């Protein structure tokens, strides 16, 4: 019985977005954080930022991580939260 209750609670939580991943911003560009702020945060984390471009409410970052591996990351341009699936913001 507890298993059924747990499954029911998780189903409701997932359908209400309790576990939703960060998405690209839908706000106007005037509300975006400066790219330099994101670059500073990434450099402090040991990344060598090569390029940052704005794509549909996300900052798309091309960088080299601290292990020397090329990475392509996306961040919500308004909140600077990492976005797992940048296409999730498209409708």
Query: Residue ranges per domain, the chain?
Result: 22-89
- Whole-model pTM? 0.70
Q: What is the pLDDT of residues 16-27, one digit of tens each?
A: 344 456 899 999
Angle (CA) 49 55 59, round 5°: 35
DSSP H helical ranges for the chain: 2-15, 35-44
Q: Please state, in angstroms and rounded to a whole number, the distance separating the CA atoms of residues 67 and 46.
A: 9
Residue 54: what pLDDT? 96
Q: What is the pLDDT of residues 32-71, one digit of tens each?
A: 999 999 999 999 999 999 999 999 999 999 999 999 999 9
For 75, other C-beta atoms within 10 Å of its C-beta total 24
Residue 69: what pLDDT? 97
Read off the pLDDT band of 90 (50, 70, 90): very low
Residue 3: what pLDDT? 40
């Amino acid at each position: 019985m507890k298993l059924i209750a747990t499954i029911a609670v998780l189903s409701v939580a997932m359908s209400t977005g309790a576990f939703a991943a960060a998405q690209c911003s839908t706000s106007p560009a005037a509300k975006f954080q400066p790219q330099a702020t994101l670059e500073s945060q990434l450099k402090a984390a040991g990344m060598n930022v090569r390029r940052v471009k704005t794509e549909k409410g996300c900052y798309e970052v091309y960088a080299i991580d601290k292990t020397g591996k090329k990475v392509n990351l996306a961040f919500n341009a308004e909140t600077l939260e990492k976005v797992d699936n940048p296409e999730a913001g498209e409708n």
